[in-house]
Structure 1
């Protein structure tokens, strides 16, 4: 099968501002993307998605009948749409306003105004989510690689497992938080742990410290995915013994590079 190209994508753009729609349309056209449906409100967006499922939804934050978060919740609330790629374009910068977007597995959060490079990376991330490309490793066969995915957000776990599956990794185990992961590690061994940072009871740092203190699992690489921007917290993460960190929302190509680095030793 031919490799999926940006020009193959069908985009649903939800933006009440005609001027902003023109800006985004121009930037998408420069990437060869012309198959774009335009709507201005949440009601029309849901009707369009129900009629023809797009490959990517690009949305602003505010409409007359709701917000981008309302639309995202509606989409994620339908099992058949849980993995629909969603991109937010917003001037909102408050962490608490953006956290649920990050935890819901959006493909990108673009600032207003955004650069063309921002958009290109987001489009590439979308293509990576829609296609498969096996991970090339010197020491492991991706199909036999045993990976533990730990995140208290089911939707975030779904995105992580989707990315890993697209890389040819099939042996995946999920844990809803750090405490469940510790229980799983009592009986099973893994080649890699991918964990969130912010979790109740046992967070990602505490889980990593537990792994590093274990005679059985101390050698297992840990990739931490976090939306945390606080430098003190990030320093604590680095000191806990993680092998690499990725931001939420993360780019599948970045995951590929990091996994190739930490698993190839």
Structure 2
């Protein structure tokens, strides 16, 4: 079982001063095993060295790449693609942060951040790492018998979400690469116990997919969880009006996601 005291962190921060601040906060949480590197290439080299770190915490702007490029490199490497990733950055532009969200970050923290925010991010990573505890919490629901539909146009995002769901104990997971693909599968009569969808997708977005399910499909009452980085309040209101069961923000808190799925099933 992972806990704060035995967690190994790879901290990717080119600024020595910022690195010291983050290390101080981590040490206050009880984390002492911290390896700081100053570039994306150094981080990837360190991650592949034994003993591998349990979590990567990175700045957005590194000398040789961005944090978005670093997490994408992690997610597309089969040996390390399940590694938890946390971004700490002063960047606020949605277009710059979207790739981080889509790649499955545990959290995106601002600079400066407060101790509670870092604690929550690390706790979410621990929930993700402690697979046995996650499965035990949902065991009474027989997750291996449930059929899930996962809808997202990002292959990387789908893969990360699938990894989380499999850690929860689900194994019957059907994927759809956009809302139209999901509608085609539903129209063929395939039954699902839960549908998890993104919002922004080509052809048919998440809101239109929900409207189809609630008004046209023969599974009008199936629980629908939207996991999205969408921030537009009007769009979010339209999603709720369409009949979504719940909206979970990207990056999502693992414990909250598990709790929502437990409620639905």
Tell me which interval the TM-score lies in, with the shorter structure as reference length: over 0.9
Partner of 2:122: 123
Describe the SS at the equivalent of 2:79. helix
2:76·2:156 contact (CA, 8 Å) conserved in 1?
no
Equivalent of residue 36 in structure 1, options 31, 34, 37 = 34
- Over the residues paired in the alignment, what is the CA RMSD in angstroms? 1.6
> 1:187-246 CA distances to partner (integer Å, 9 max, x unpaired)?
310010000011100111111111112352101000001101110111111111000000
| Post-superposition offset of 1:137 | 7.7
| Post-superposition offset of 1:21 | 1.0
Whole-angstrom CA distance in 1 between matches of 2:72 and 2:246: 30
**TM-score normalised by structure 2 residue count:** 0.93
Whole-angstrom CA distance in 2 between matches of 1:189 and 1:182: 12
1:9-88 to 2 correspondences below 5 Å = 9-52=7-50, 53-88=52-87
| Post-superposition offset of 1:262 | 2.7
Q: Which of 111-120 and 38-47 deviates more?
A: 38-47
1:10·1:56 contact (CA, 8 Å) conserved in 2?
yes
Describe the SS at the equivalent of 1:218. coil
1:144-223 to 2 correspondences below 5 Å = 144-185=145-186, 186-214=188-216, 216-223=218-225
1:137·1:260 contact (CA, 8 Å) conserved in 2?
no
5+ unaligned residues in a row in structure 2: which ranges?
A: none
1:129·1:162 contact (CA, 8 Å) conserved in 2?
no
**TM-score normalised by structure 1 residue count:** 0.93
In structure 2, the CA distance between the partners of 1:102 and 1:77, relative to structure 1 (3 Å rule), is: same
5+ unaligned residues in a row in structure 1: which ranges?
A: none
